[in-house]
Amino acid sequence: MIELENVSYTYGGGELLSDVSVQLQPGSFHFLTGPSGAGKTTLLKLCYGALLPSSGRLSVFDQDISTLDRDQLAVLRRRVGVVHQDCQFLDHMTLAENVALPLMVSGRSETSEQENLTELLSWVGLGARLEALPPELSGGERQRAALARAVILSPDVVLADEPTGNVDWEMSQRLLRLLIELNRMGKTVLIATHDLSLIRAAKSQVQARVLRISQRKLQLAGADL
């Protein structure tokens, strides 16, 4: 589904990721961990085509990303839902409008889609907050809204960047359960996190592989987490 083969990523400050190879199989569940600044967000951005590898091969849904034009890349991105680290809401729009943005951008605003929106917001426990503005939301509400927006177009893959970064343990468990539920629906899930207790908690609920970035390399973490 997503395959990196000897991918390196270099920017002005030097090489951040070196010779990374990994496959995310359909329906798999992965964690991506590593110290702050190790390159987790960068690796996620490579996975949805926001950045291109400096070298190596990256294919998403069996398409070599370097061969895609802008329109093809846009189609591909609709199949990958991203929960951004900072949520990225438009503060003057309501929660429901923010979550519906991907529908509007892709020209899908029929009644059935609006019904899906209401259902989706109830699923994440925000059915009563549709009209709230982003500055009025708590950290946990923002993260759940970001998750709803990431899956509104029914993507095949969900990439979540520190989805439990600013919430307490109870809320992080709730977010984790939602992500596990998405995986049980067949979606491929990758969660970037430095929270090892979250990973430990997940291991009894889902079969997850843990990838770790250390000194520019990506490794499969052992059972000693």
Ligand X SMILES: Nc1ncnc2c1ncn2[C@@H]1O[C@H](COP(=O)(O)OP(=O)(O)OP(=O)(O)O)[C@@H](O)[C@H]1O
- 153 or 195: CB nearest ligand X: 195
Of 147, 225, 146, 224, which Cα lies nearest the Cα of 183? 147
Structural contact between residues 194 and 162, judged by C-beta atoms closer than 8 angstroms: yes
By CB under 6 A, is residue 38 in contact with ligand X? Answer: yes
Q: Which of 23, 25, 37, 55 binds ligand X (CB under 6 A)?
A: 37
Cross-strand partners of 80: 157
By CB under 6 A, is residue 164 in contact with ligand X? Answer: no
Q: Which of 84, 174, 194, 203 binds ligand X (CB under 6 A)?
A: 194
By CB under 6 A, is residue 14 in contact with ligand X? Answer: no
User: Which residues are CB-contacts of 104 (< 8 A; sequence separation ≥ 6)?
Assistant: none
* Torsional class of 149: left (φ above 0), alpha (ψ -120 to 50), beta (otherwise): alpha
Q: Which of 18, 28, 33, 41 binds ligand X (CB under 6 A)?
A: 41
Q: How far is the CB of 194 from ligand X (least distance, A)?
A: 6
Q: Which stretch binds ligand X (CB under 6 A): 10-18, 93-101, 137-145, 173-181?
A: 10-18
Helix residue spans in 48-168 (DSSP H) = 70-78, 95-105, 111-123, 139-151
By CB under 6 A, is residue 16 in contact with ligand X? Answer: yes
Residue ranges that bind ligand X, judged by CB under 6 A: 11-13, 16, 34, 36-42, 194
